[in-house]
Amino acid sequence: MRAPKQPSREPVIKRLRRAEGHLRAITRLLATTRSTVNIAQQIRAVEAAVAHAKQQLIHDHMQHCVERRDLSGDALRELRQLAKFL
C-alpha cells in the first residue's frame, strides 16, 4: 500500500495571494481616500483570507498524517501543537 502523497499547497497559496491583493488595495485606499469604512472592510477581508489559509494548511497536514497513519510520538506532538492554532 502506497503512502498518500503530500497534500497540495495550491489552495493555501491561492488564499494568501487573495490576501496579498487585499493588502495592495488597502495601501491604495490609504493613499487615495479617507473612507475608513472601505479600509476597515479590506482589512477584515485580509484577516479572513489569512485565517482560512491557516485553517486549510493545518487541516490538510493533519489529514495527511492520519491517512498515512503516522501517529508516532513526534507526529502526535506536532498535531497537538498545530491544533493550538485552530
Quote the number of domains for the chain.
Answer: 1
pTM of this structure: 0.73
Q: What is the pLDDT, as a whole number, of residue 85?
A: 80
77, part of any domain? yes
Task: Please report, to the nearest 10 degrees, the dihedral formed by the alpha carbons of residues 71, 76, 80, 82 taken in order.
Answer: -70
* Residue 51 near residue 18, CB atoms below 8 Å: no
Range of the domain at 19: 9-84
1, part of any domain? no
Between 2 and 40, the higher pLDDT residue: 40
Mean model confidence pLDDT for the chain:
83
pLDDT digit string, tens, across residues 18-51: 899 989 989 998 999 778 998 999 899 999 999 9
| Residue 37, C-alpha cell as written in the block | 469604512
4, part of any domain? no
37, part of any domain? yes
26, part of any domain? yes
- d(CA 52, CA 68) in angstroms, rounded, equals 24
Q: What is the pLDDT, as a whole number, of residue 70?
A: 64
CATH of the domain at 28: 1.20.58.1000
3, part of any domain? no
pLDDT digit string, tens, across residues 53-73: 999 998 888 888 777 776 777
